[in-house]
Amino acid sequence: GQNIDQPTEMTATEGAIVQINCTYQTSGFNGLFWYQQHAGEAPTFLSYNVLDGLEEKGRFSSFLSRSKGYSYLLLKELQMKDSASYLCAVRGVNRDDKIIFGKGTRLHILP
């Protein structure tokens, strides 16, 4: 089977740093995506990791450890507009091109 776990909710303060974790247990792995979704809107792409290590993109970074089945999304210099849900998604269970999403983490930013 497959399982993707993320914390349900997190709260952080404007200007701070927050790390959102994602652990996965899948029978095959070919990459991990992070998406951002504001309330009432469609998800938008943030990052894609297929190799171990850290990928940095502006204020957002994503890390992957394939041996541990673990990823995190790091958000720096938090802004109020970062209040959203963050979805972790894993590609390629059993190499069949499916992309399976976790339940998402709702991030609340306090002023």
Partner 1 sequence: NAGVTQTPKFRILKIGQSMTLQCTQDMNHNYMYWYRQDPGMGLKLIYYSVGAGITDKGEVPNGYNVSRSTTEDFPLRLELAAPSQTSVYFCAGSGGSYNEQFFGPGTRLTVL
Interface residue list for partner 1 (CB under 8 A)? 30-31, 33, 35, 41-45, 48, 50, 87, 89, 91-92, 96-104, 106
Q: Minimal distance in Å, beta carbon 35 to partner 1?
A: 8
- C-alpha span between 109 and 111 (Å, rounded): 7
| Smaller CB separation from partner 1, 39 or 80 | 39
Cβ distance to partner 1 smaller for residue 81 or 97: 97
Whole-number minimum distance, CB 101 to partner 1, in Å? 4
Closer to partner 1 by Cβ: residue 35 or 72: 35
Question: In angstroms, rounded to a whole number, what is the distance separating the alpha carbons of residues 41 and 26?
Answer: 28
For 63-73, give one letter per residue: b (16+ CB within 10 A) or e.
bbeeeebebbb
Measured distance CA(86)–CA(105) in Å, rounded: 5
